[in-house]
Structure 1
Amino acid sequence: MTNNEQKSVFFINSLLVGMILVGTLNTLVYKYQNTTVIDGVTFIHPYMQALCMFVGEACCIVFYFVFKMKAEEDPNKENGGFKILSIPALFDGITSSLQHVALNFIPSSIYQMLRGGLMIVTAGFSKFVLKKQLSKQQQFGILLAILGIFIVGLSNFLFRKSKSDDFSWEIKLISIALIIVSLFTQAAQYIFEEKLFQKYNYHVFYVVGVEGMWGLLYFGIVMPILNFIPCNFEEGCVFRNGQGYWECTDVFFQQLGADAWLTVSVIMGIFSIALFNIFGVNVTKYVSALTRTVVDTIRTILIWGIGLIVTATTSRVWENTSKWANLIELIGFVLLVLGNLIYKEMLKISFLQDKKKVLLEEQ
């Protein structure tokens, strides 16, 4: 093996490890924020968190210009523009808002595993929008993943946490519904981006960075409105002078000023999402989207394990402490992983193999 090959192997392994660690950090950082209580008030700011996420995405445009990245020129494609990227950015904004709201009220591992359903929705969109065909094995993998997702979601309602600051099952049900809706908006974003890449010459870092800039513009318009729309729910509202609102930017910064570690976590969230995009895009470029999917599954295991440790050793409730709930989650998680592996054909089922397989292209 040559020095260049050795360096390449080291580089790729570094990307994989980096993606696992940074991706885990990003989810846990948001969970830390959502379980922080200041003067008896829980830090609940899903829309400001989404805004911070777009700040991180916009950082990718800095990397694009600093490192003078250029898209590979395909003479059969046009040069992509700035404005059209506002559409996937809108989908991204809706997705992020819904998921950040949900993460306030359910364990981070369940949040992460339910997001695994993105494979199902994307497969459906690919079939009906992009007219791609699914093999029998892929269909079986999707069904197995659906079963796993159902079991994981069910565990959080059958068994309550042992600590007193648990949320009601109603708000958990709403949170899971929000995640399911977000899967469709996120899949729409991915499908739209795929069509853009088919037609235009784009560098991935440029796409991510510009979408981040569009997201900042969207939230710059929406945020003042959310600050004055009353919120009458008992849970999930941000309160200012006894009145609940969908978001309170001033309260967000007041709470940051009152807790230095909370401020650090917000900064870490901004940079971790930027790094996560960098690692993820490079894994897709130098290895495959399949590897990126497997790595994301490994991240889920770490999130679940760390969440259990935090819940058992601190006053923060990140995961369900019931051993039966954890056992059910583990079963659901195994089925979800198997579904992903079968769908991606890392595990081949002989009797499901088609003579002429038409595989769904890597997302």
Structure 2
Amino acid sequence: MEESPGSYYAIARLQQPQFAAAILYMRRRALFKIFVSVLMVSAGTINVLAVKWADTILARGTNPKAEHFFLHPYVQVLSMFGGKASCLVVFQIVYYYYYYYHKKVVFQFGRQDFSPFVFVIPAVFNVLGTSTMYFGLSLTFASSYQMLRGAVIIFTALLSVAVFGSKLQVYHWVGMLTVVTGSALVSLGDLLNTSYDLNQNGLFTGDLLVVIGQIAVALQLITEQRYVQGYNIPPLQAVGWEGVFGFGIVGIALVPMYFIRWHLPSESYFWQDHTRYEDVIDAVNQIVYIPTLIVAFVCATVSSGFYNFAGMSVTKEVNATTRTVLDSVSALFIWMFGLVFMWQQFNFYQLIGFLVLLVGICIYYTMCYFHG
């Protein structure tokens, strides 16, 4: 039986190349989702551990004391934004490669008619949030730092009500209450931790600063949703522009910080050897002084770029729920690393707090998913 040109089999045969191309595209996209998810967890874990590692390294600087800890949170924030800004360089190389060698701009690059200044406000909140959190990280455990970052959903939800007029359902409140309970258990575990002669007041202050930093992070997410999301900007480019503005803001702020005299009492747990709010010259001297600190600093900078690119890609390609859960997975790896390398001792309250936090996050986001 001869097939007519318009028969089902003829049409299927004609459409087979397009169908194969669609299958190939779906497979590549699925592999990309897996890749950015793994990249986000690994880069996020390395970034937090590298920053905390730098905090614990003794090195000679310009301070009166011969050797002192590298407690320069604002310099580390500058390096973080430097890592993010490098994403813009990579984007421009890829963009112009396609533009000049293929004589066209492929659709993956999205709209390019936006003003980069839409990233200024999110960058300001990013600077405030990261600075506060890095200050807290210098005082508390790396695992507690990463676990307590889950508290961002509380402030994001409340701000969404104020800015977008969103309505919180019962499951929202249940999820947020569970997250608060988990955060309290994590902090309680730090307060009851008597290992390594750590100052409990310092640990609590560090935990509190990490939680307070989530307010600025929530403001950053809200402003990104309000002003940036509609532009369909590629993640690599968005991370890069936010890094450029953040790097500029922190770089300018370091100048007056250097001249602000601030000396905490000698019995204080942190910054007891520093007589400036942020001594960038001392930080540079310490980095040059010891190769180990250079390695930690470079790891923190590079991993920051990869982490932020992967995180924004996960949000765009999958959803914000997955990004939050993957951050919790990073917390698990950081906690395990701290136990293996004796950065902290096993604490039952911290384990329970982490599980309760994860349950709260799942309640909040999973119910949102099922309710549309």
Give the TM bin, normalised by the shorter chain: 0.7 to 0.9
Post-superposition shift, 1:335?
0.6
Aligned to 1:32: 53
Aligned to 1:125: 159
Q: Distance in 2 between matches of 1:217 and 1:236?
A: 27
**Which residue identity is paired with 2:110?**
E
Question: 3-state SS of the aligned residue for 2:168?
Answer: coil
Number of positions where the alignment pairs a residue of Structure 1 with one of Structure 2: 331
Q: Distance in 1 between matches of 2:230 and 2:316?
A: 19
Q: Distance in 2 between matches of 1:169 and 1:5?
A: 51
Q: Is the CA contact 1:138–1:345 (under 8 Å) kept in the aligned structure 2?
A: no
Q: Distance in 2 between matches of 1:211 and 1:135?
A: 33
Q: Is the CA contact 2:181–2:353 (under 8 Å) kept in the aligned structure 1?
A: yes
**TM-score using structure 2 length:** 0.82
Aligned to 1:331: 352
- The structure with the larger Rg is 2
Q: Is the CA contact 2:235–2:309 (under 8 Å) kept in the aligned structure 1?
A: no
Aligned to 1:231: 262
**Which residue identity is paired with 2:176?**
I
**Which residue identity is paired with 2:40?**
M
Q: Residue 309 of structure 2: which of 267, 278, 283 is its match?
A: 278
Q: Distance in 1 between matches of 2:254 and 2:219?
A: 24
Q: Distance in 2 between matches of 1:203 and 1:16?
A: 17
Q: Is the CA contact 2:235–2:312 (under 8 Å) kept in the aligned structure 1?
A: yes
Question: 3-state SS of the aligned residue for 2:164?
Answer: coil
Are 1:11 and 2:42 an aligned pair?
Answer: no
- The within-5 A match list for 1:156-235 is 156-161=190-195, 163-164=196-197, 166=198, 168-197=199-228, 200=231, 202-233=233-264, 234-235=268-269
Change (3 A) 1:115 1:137: same
Aligned to 1:146: 180
Q: Residue 267 of structure 1: which of 298, 308, 330 is its match?
A: 298
Q: Residue 94 of structure 1: which of 111, 128, 133 is its match?
A: 128
- The within-5 A match list for 1:36-51 is 36-38=57-59, 40-51=67-78
User: Taking every aligned residue pair, what percent have the same amino acid on both sides?
Assistant: 29
Q: Is the CA contact 1:60–1:208 (under 8 Å) kept in the aligned structure 2?
A: yes
Q: Distance in 2 between matches of 1:87 and 1:176?
A: 26
Q: Distance in 2 between matches of 1:8 and 1:52?
A: 31
Q: Distance in 1 between matches of 2:272 and 2:109?
A: 43
Aligned to 1:315: none
| Larger helix proportion of the pair | 2
Change (3 A) 1:294 1:271: same
- The within-5 A match list for 1:242-257 is 244-257=275-288
Aligned to 2:170: 136
User: Unpaired segments of 5 or more residues in structure 2?
Assistant: 1-19, 61-66, 96-105
Aligned to 2:5: none
Deviates more, 1:64-73 or 1:11-20: 64-73
Are 1:342 and 2:369 an aligned pair?
Answer: no
Q: Distance in 1 between matches of 2:153 and 2:24?
A: 38
Q: Distance in 2 between matches of 1:284 and 1:56?
A: 19
Question: 3-state SS of the aligned residue for 2:281?
Answer: helix
Q: Is the CA contact 1:231–1:237 (under 8 Å) kept in the aligned structure 2?
A: no
Post-superposition shift, 1:250?
1.7
Q: Is the CA contact 1:44–1:238 (under 8 Å) kept in the aligned structure 2?
A: no
Q: Distance in 1 between matches of 2:220 and 2:305?
A: 18
Post-superposition shift, 1:14?
2.1
Are 1:305 and 2:343 an aligned pair?
Answer: no
User: Unpaired segments of 5 or more residues in structure 1?
Assistant: 312-317
Question: 3-state SS of the aligned residue for 2:132?
Answer: helix
Change (3 A) 1:273 1:198: closer
Question: 3-state SS of the aligned residue for 2:140?
Answer: coil
Post-superposition shift, 1:329?
0.6
Q: Is the CA contact 1:141–1:341 (under 8 Å) kept in the aligned structure 2?
A: yes
Aligned to 1:57: 84
Q: Distance in 1 between matches of 2:325 and 2:118?
A: 31
**Which residue identity is paired with 1:332?**
G
Q: Is the CA contact 2:239–2:309 (under 8 Å) kept in the aligned structure 1?
A: no
Question: 3-state SS of the aligned residue for 2:131?
Answer: helix
**Which residue identity is paired with 1:211?**
E
Aligned to 1:314: none
Q: Render the CA deviation track for 1:249-297: whole Å, top value 9, x for unaligned.
A: 1211211122112101111111101011221222222222222222111
Q: Distance in 1 between matches of 2:367 and 2:327?
A: 15
**TM-score using structure 1 length:** 0.84
Q: Distance in 1 between matches of 2:299 and 2:288?
A: 16
Change (3 A) 1:95 1:215: same
The alignment yields a C-alpha RMSD, in angstroms, of 2.3
Q: Is the CA contact 1:341–1:347 (under 8 Å) kept in the aligned structure 2?
A: no
Q: Distance in 1 between matches of 2:223 and 2:29?
A: 32
Post-superposition shift, 1:134?
2.2
